Amino acid sequence: MSGPYDDMIDMPHHVSSVHPQMRMEERAAQFSPFAALTGYGAVIKETARQTVPRLELSENSQEEIKRQLDHLEEHIHEQPEVSITYFLADQKKEGGAYVTAAGTIKRLDDVEGILKLEDGTCIKIEDIIKIQSPMLEVGE
């Protein structure tokens, strides 16, 4: 078999006497993917991230939550265990997510409208959509 490069195929690899040889990591970096649109991937991820709209509770549901909170506040010295589902607004776009936090109630502040759990979680009372607690089942 003969080809146009037969005269070069068996030549030794050239080593420069002027430039030091590159480390393998540096050589590999030359062939790594190039991100021409820096940050574009993050924008795509953010756009694809789903949020849900905030639900408006009926007056009956709001009254039920208020009644449950009043009962828990009366028995706060018993350190009631609760599981609270609430709306957490998204910081970057419209909507948010419904999250459930579980723990012991530390404080209920009607003036600021905040329920605080022992672990430091603060929940706006207006964002609560569901409260579950063994104490509520006994108290009803």
Count of residues in the chain: 140
Does a structural domain hold residue 108?
Answer: yes
> What is the spatial distance between Cα 26 and Cα 23, in angstroms, rounded to a whole number?
5
Does a structural domain hold residue 32?
Answer: no
Does a structural domain hold residue 101?
Answer: yes
* Domain count along the chain: 1
- Structure tokens that stand for 15 in this block: 């080593």
Q: By residue range, what is the domain housing residue 83?
A: 59-139
Does a structural domain hold residue 12?
Answer: no
Q: What are the angstrom distances between the C-alpha of 116 and each of 24, 90, 134? A: 55, 20, 18
Does a structural domain hold residue 41?
Answer: no
Does a structural domain hold residue 66?
Answer: yes
Q: Rounded mean pLDDT of 93-104?
A: 94
Does a structural domain hold residue 132?
Answer: yes
**What pLDDT does 138 receive?**
56
φ and ψ at residue 26, rounded to 5 degrees: -65, -40
Does a structural domain hold residue 107?
Answer: yes
> What is the spatial distance between Cα 115 and Cα 105, in angstroms, rounded to a whole number?
7
The string of pLDDT tens digits covering residues 42-69 is 888 888 888 999 999 999 999 999 999 9
Q: Is 79 left (phi over 0), alpha (psi -120 to 50) or beta?
A: left
- Structure tokens that stand for 91 in this block: 């910081």
> What is the spatial distance between Cα 68 and Cα 136, in angstroms, rounded to a whole number?
7
> What is the spatial distance between Cα 121 and Cα 114, in angstroms, rounded to a whole number?
10
The string of pLDDT tens digits covering residues 5-49 is 888 888 888 889 999 988 888 888 877 777 777 888 888 888 888
**CATH code for the domain of 63:** 2.30.30
